[in-house]
Amino acid sequence: MTVERTNLGRMTTFVLIPGGGGDAWYWHLVEAELTRRGHDVVNVDLPADDEKAGLREYADVVDAAVGERTDPILVALSMGGFTAAMVAARRPVSAIVFVNAMIPLPGEKLEDWGEATGQSAAQREQSVREGRDPDADFDLRAAFFHDVPADLTEYALSHDRDQSERAFGDRCEFEAWPSVPIRVLAGRDDHLFPAEFQRRVAHERLGVEAELVPGGHLAPLSHPVELADRVERS
């Protein structure tokens, strides 16, 4: 899973999977950059606000969007890591790239991931180190948008889609990771999933070393070109 390959100079299919809320818009700048470079990009919108849809339905949507394309690279943001695992169990993929992502264990539920990984404690410790009040009420802007340009932040917050609770009780249906390169890109300034936390989880769950990238949790909005550079090397 640690073997490096380069896709520079050839067309590759990248499948961009969003996190909570399921909105493909969060990937739109990376999509544009990879498309400009001559790649085939499938930017998937998930039915995350549908109470009848869960992880299995999310994987169905991604699978259908990929269609007859062969050996795509899955690129998953945040909660999208669970969807990516299930898609990779259904069809051949050439690589998986996690971006500030929730990396599941086989059969794990989304609702159990935080406690199992120690995410809350890691977030709290980082807040203390960096001088933020660890007991403050959750602030969407501070957690997700602290380094995102103001115009993109306002657009995102004004078009915010609810994430249904249904998916959190679903188990991630896969038995093992495929024998393909798997990379973990961790935002250096992520307030939600601190970089050192991501490094630990990547090592424990995948046996790989996470790579630091510029930006916070929403690096696809704050540093799209730099992120596209890293994704393109998968």
Query: What is the rounded distance in angstroms from the CA atom of residue 193 to the CA atom of residue 195?
Result: 6
Domain annotation covers residue 195? yes
Domain annotation covers residue 103? yes
In this predicted model, what pLDDT tens digit does every residue of 58-113 receive, in sequence order? 999 999 999 999 999 999 999 999 999 999 999 999 999 999 999 999 999 999 99
Q: Is the dihedral of CA 106, 107, 111, 115 positive or negative?
A: negative
Percent of the residues in the chain that have a pLDDT greater than 70, as a whole number: 96
Domain annotation covers residue 41? yes
pLDDT at 1 over 80: no
Is 125 in a helix, a strand, or coil? helix
At 229, the pLDDT band (50, 70, 90 cuts) reads: very high
pLDDT at 8 over 80: no
DSSP string, the chain: -------TTS--EEEEE--TT--GGGGHHHHHHHHHTT-EEEEPPP-TT-TT--HHHHHHHHHHHHTT--SPEEEEETTHHHHHHHHHTTS--SEEEEES---PPTT-BHHHHHHHHTHHHHHHHHHHHTT--TTSPP-HHHHH-TTS-HHHHHHHHHT--PPPSGGGGSB---SS--SS-EEEEEETT-SSS-HHHHHHHHHHHHS---EEESSSTTHHHHSHHHHHHHHHT-
Query: What is the domain range of residue 200?
Result: 13-232
Q: What pLDDT shows up at residue 138? A: 87
Domain annotation covers residue 109? yes
Number of domains in the chain: 1
Domain annotation covers residue 207? yes
What are the CA-CA distances from residue 182 to residues 3, 5, 54 (Å)?
8, 11, 24
Q: Are β-strands 40-43 and 73-77 bridged in parallel, bridged antiparallel, or unpaired?
A: unpaired
At 5, the pLDDT band (50, 70, 90 cuts) reads: very low
Domain annotation covers residue 27? yes
Q: What pLDDT shows up at residue 6? A: 41
Domain annotation covers residue 84? yes
pLDDT at 10 over 90: no
pTM for this entry: 0.94
In this predicted model, what pLDDT tens digit does every residue of 12-68 receive, in sequence order? 999 999 999 999 999 999 999 999 999 999 999 999 999 999 999 999 999 999 999
| Span 143-155, average pLDDT | 96
pLDDT at 134 over 60: yes
Percent of the residues in the chain that have a pLDDT greater than 90, as a whole number: 90
Q: What is the CATH number of the domain that holds 150?
A: 3.40.50.1820
Domain annotation covers residue 5? no
Question: Are 132 and 141 in contact, with CB atoms under 8 Å apart?
Answer: no
Q: What pLDDT shows up at residue 11? A: 85
